Structure 1
């Protein structure tokens, strides 16, 4: 048993580690933008931060629309290996074309939505000067949704083929390019126009385009990927597009639901004053950073499930769940130990030691005690969503997260924070309750759904 777990862990880590590091590098990319906004001033930070929140919300949901491409590609490639059938390679090419068509439609719709939202910000009671800067920033960011989602479509193809190594190199390079372009466009150096805050938006859009071109070029140099990679989205098969949209819409809704859940708890924390909101924001950022480990493990586990089921290996598909959860538990134990033993050191990058930070630091330290346990469930629920995606079951994941986040977590947070007067601590206990409920329901659904799915796979694709 230990030998099997070690072997499975190595196989999972081969795919998960590059994905985790890529996710962490992407966090560094957005952090660079935020830091440079802060250097421009408070008003620019407020406007740029608002623009990035809106951009990231639509980007995240757009990514959800093409996330299932990785699973579909992994299954088709595995069937091709098992049967030596070139028709399955044709299926992969059809998936690539369809994913790029979906990404193009989502990118265009998202870009229009961003511009329209910018026009309506004044009606939401936002400061007029901030709104003016936000609108200009959104105009610069909106075109970037297209290459951003093209990148994600090709990324899912490379992950599904289990060849994601170029992702990390490209993302790391994009951090340096983004920082350099930010600086040049903000200040108008080397003959470039002085754009200020808008320059950050232009730099972000440019980096998304360069990243897509770099990933495409890298895939074209790969002898295994090149024959399957086609950019002719106009020839996308309507049935394949419909299948991807059917799988992707619940994923996009799940991502949007989770983002909305955490955004609403931030508003609740703000009702208890600036110190409470600062503490909540600092701890939430820590959770977000560590959450990237869960994202990488979830994607890797999901791809492995799709592959193992396509090969008819039910036992391996069952083991993937336990392996992913064991790896997550190991990482979360180390992180939780740091939270409990050196909380001030962990919080130092987010909360300074000035005279006004004492209350926020004390509150954040208490929240870390909850977070040490919460992150086990946060990681488990994300892995659960990925496992179900490996079964092509994206609707159950969405329904379960609605129950866990909104029917259990949010009422619990409100009850503990307000009637029971636990304030921000109550909010985080509510988050813990919602995430734990979601994790249990998702993993139970996977265990109960796996046998039936394997039976259907056997009927659809006999050996």
Structure 2
């Protein structure tokens, strides 16, 4: 590919990927702040809070998946309106449907979180950690509904190509979250002293405030305000079914990955509180870097959809290559930082000395994060092909049939314990990335003899 095409494709990808990735990074700073403050309270609090955040992220991630397709559908409806084939009514109905779907998913997810909190004691975790995690889950559960409301409006603004307010609001929420965390932990500013559960209460409040801020911002936008209709009771049933049909395989894919990480956390917990605390800290670092992959994945997904709509499969492949090249460059820089300065990177998560197991996990993460990024981009590429179901099936194989058995064998049969679990995690993510990209490559091949058979595979 010529340098001119590389530059053009890179600029097109960056135009959407950079603001989305920055927003994702700002958003994950919320949970990072929570994790750091839990670490300051002690190892037990960090382990319990980390366990609760894993469960919360599982439910949140699947809920986000349900409304992720809204952005693509809004963009398509907006394009039709620009051509004169529509008047915005479709977009208003999509917004109503997205809000209805996010409300249902938020309520269901909150109930699931509380139920899981009651079941944690059966999963071999430390009883004191379980009690603290259960309380934290109860505090986090109410925040899931406004969190998904925020995501529904976010997809609307992204589909309309007006996501700039997202970054400002998310950055402001970091400061608000840190202040509320401190106040509710220690009982400052007239607020009750709740200790570690105060972090969960603060997070729920911040999600509600963030949704309100995004709604107000959209109402002040002349292009968005006429289309922003939150009357969920007027949502068209056919639209709701269409959004659910598009969102379920995406939610299942996200849930497959998040569930894989949740089971891994439970496996690590069996090796003790220190191992779980180390896992929580390193996993949070991986999660931070993962937000770059999310931005690249969304941008690549939209790029592939646009190029295929124009009938240019070669351009769709170039979008994929540009996204993967960006991922490799970023992950290489971060990985070098992990290897060169492991203790400074990890020290914010621990009150005293950094455990040696955390350093070992960080070195595994330096390699793992590229495959984690690549598989997320692969999911986005298949979503751009309207093949979310195929992506879900691939993740079932990569995570559960390959990664989880590898993690168990390396931890127990090879006696590598927590490090072995993470090597199994790396194996599952690498297998998933390769399978997803192979499927994308096959489905974007230039048509020729036997193409119909390939498309049916």
Aligned to 1:57: 58
Query: Are the equivalent residues in 2 in contact too, given 1:79–1:311 (CA < 8 A)?
Result: no
2:357 counterpart of 1:363? no
Aligned to 2:455: none
Query: Are the equivalent residues in 2 in contact too, given 1:27–1:289 (CA < 8 A)?
Result: yes
Tell me the TM-score normalized by structure 1.
Answer: 0.86
2:140 counterpart of 1:146? no
Mean Cα deviation higher: 169-178 or 315-324: 315-324
Distance change (3 Å), C-alpha of 1:343 and 1:120? closer
User: Within 2, Cα distance between the matches of 1:200 and 1:372?
Assistant: 29
Q: C-alpha displacement at 1:242, in angstroms?
A: 1.0
Q: C-alpha displacement at 1:95, in angstroms?
A: 1.3
2:178 counterpart of 1:179? yes
Runs (5+) with no aligned partner, structure 2: 448-457
- 2:386 is paired with a residue whose SS is coil
2:55 counterpart of 1:67? no
User: Within 1, Cα distance between the matches of 2:222 and 2:337?
Assistant: 44
Query: Are the equivalent residues in 2 in contact too, given 1:71–1:389 (CA < 8 A)?
Result: no
Query: Are the equivalent residues in 2 in contact too, given 1:78–1:311 (CA < 8 A)?
Result: no
User: Within 2, Cα distance between the matches of 1:123 and 1:418?
Assistant: 21
2:119 counterpart of 1:113? no
- 1:250 is paired with a residue whose SS is helix
Q: C-alpha displacement at 1:207, in angstroms?
A: 1.2
Distance change (3 Å), C-alpha of 1:140 and 1:281? closer
Runs (5+) with no aligned partner, structure 1: 454-463
Aligned to 1:96: 95
Query: Are the equivalent residues in 1 in contact too, given 2:313–2:446 (CA < 8 A)?
Result: no
- 1:418 is paired with a residue whose SS is helix
* Residue number among 430, 435, 438 corresponding to 1:444 in the alignment: 438
Aligned residues, how many? 446
User: Within 2, Cα distance between the matches of 1:384 and 1:116?
Assistant: 33
Query: Are the equivalent residues in 1 in contact too, given 2:290–2:372 (CA < 8 A)?
Result: yes
Q: C-alpha displacement at 1:14, in angstroms?
A: 1.6
Distance change (3 Å), C-alpha of 1:429 and 1:44? closer
- 1:86 is paired with a residue whose SS is coil
Aligned to 1:433: 427
Aligned to 1:18: 19
2:160 counterpart of 1:166? no
User: Within 2, Cα distance between the matches of 1:409 and 1:128?
Assistant: 28
User: Within 1, Cα distance between the matches of 2:275 and 2:312?
Assistant: 50
Query: Are the equivalent residues in 2 in contact too, given 1:332–1:376 (CA < 8 A)?
Result: yes
User: Within 2, Cα distance between the matches of 1:361 and 1:112?
Assistant: 33
Aligned to 2:452: none
Distance change (3 Å), C-alpha of 1:418 and 1:189? closer
Mean Cα deviation higher: 240-249 or 184-193: 184-193
* Residue number among 379, 386, 403 corresponding to 1:385 in the alignment: 379
Q: C-alpha displacement at 1:190, in angstroms?
A: 3.7
Query: Are the equivalent residues in 2 in contact too, given 1:298–1:382 (CA < 8 A)?
Result: yes
Aligned to 1:84: 84
Aligned to 2:402: 408
Distance change (3 Å), C-alpha of 1:209 and 1:282? closer
Distance change (3 Å), C-alpha of 1:32 and 1:350? closer
- 1:85 is paired with a residue whose SS is coil
- 2:413 is paired with a residue whose SS is coil
Aligned to 2:227: 228
Distance change (3 Å), C-alpha of 1:430 and 1:186? closer
Distance change (3 Å), C-alpha of 1:52 and 1:279? closer
User: Within 2, Cα distance between the matches of 1:353 and 1:46?
Assistant: 15
